[in-house]
Amino acid sequence: MVKCVKVELEYPSKPIPAEEEENWTRTVISLLGFIGIFYFILGQDIQKVLNLAFVLFVHEAGHYLAMKKFNYKEVKMFFVPFLGAYVSGDKEQLSKKEMLIVILAGPVPGIIIGTLLNIASSMYGIPELGSLGKLFVIINAFNLIPVTPLDGGRLIETLFFSSNLLIQNIFIVLSMLLVGGYVFYSEELILLLLILFLFLRIRYNLTISSIRKELGSQNISYFKNFSELSNEEYWRIRNYISKKLPELRTYRLEDNRLSEYENKAIASLKNILHPPVLGKLTVLHKIGYIFLWLFFLLAMPVLNLLIIYRFF
């Protein structure tokens, strides 16, 4: 009689992600680079450049403070010449309500600040306040346009199809067409960088979708947070993506062995995971967020036009 013995492979312990310390040096360096480049783009008008940088900083500070309020980890702010700025952070247990508040925390306060500045300018005749107020309203209202990766596009994605990569890609393609149409008529060729960014995001989404499909075929669950992964699940996913993702292939990671680049592998692995989002929104809640979005996208800019041209 021959006995079959099932041999189970023992996997090393799952690594604990090293949390980066808060470092504002990169933020300041990126801000100075942003100011330097726009100093020449805007005809060496330092006041316009500083106003633009200030408005973007306040906008991103709204996102930053909201993330901090909801206990996001490794929250960072970075300025990108030609494209603006962004804030990134990490949190395992997400809720749709928190995600939506973080999205709106950038443009909504900015539009309110711009409105107050326009009122003060109109009342006291201070044109400098009016110039800054207009910039606040224009930039923050523009960010509410429902085009990815603007806040308006992210809000629509979060409300209706954040869990469906296929529909996300369709929405991104529509965004590319809208931006492309604007570039064609306005000849603002710098926005071609945005189209390139959107194309790369579609490509990345397709890669993630392919990896998730393969993991599913191997009965590896990715519908969980990083902390919920077993040692086996971590190493099986990590071993697989280290050969599939271009950003990891360059590090030549060995299977089931810790690397000096393990934190980079962990960051990529977290993008593959698809943990459930807490707190489903009711239809009434969705209507409320849509109303708030439309109010600040449409009604508030109109109100500011009335203030600026003194229709009150």
What torsion, rounded to 10 degrees, do the Cα atoms 133, 139, 144, 150 define? Answer: -160
Percent of the chain with pLDDT over 70: 96
pTM confidence score: 0.85
Summarize pLDDT for 212-270 with one digit per residue, the tens: 999 999 999 899 999 999 999 999 999 999 999 988 998 889 999 999 999 999 999 99
User: What token pair was written down for 191?
Assistant: 């926005």
Please check whether residue 101 is in contact with residue 82, taking contact to mean a CB–CB distance below 8 angstroms.
Answer: no
Strands 84-90 and 73-80: antiparallel
pLDDT of residue 312: 58
Cα-based distances in Å from 143 to 153, 211, 291, 311:
9, 32, 16, 26
9: pLDDT strictly greater than 70:
no
49: pLDDT strictly greater than 60:
yes
| Residues in the chain, total | 312
pLDDT of residue 171: 83
Please check whether residue 58 is in contact with residue 110, taking contact to mean a CB–CB distance below 8 angstroms.
Answer: yes
Summarize pLDDT for 99-143 with one digit per residue, the tens: 999 999 999 999 999 999 999 999 988 899 999 999 999 999 999
Domain assignments of the chain as residue spans, ordered by start: 24-92, 95-308
Percent of the chain with pLDDT over 90: 51
310: pLDDT strictly greater than 80:
no
**44 φψ region: left (φ > 0), alpha (ψ -120 to 50), beta (else):** left
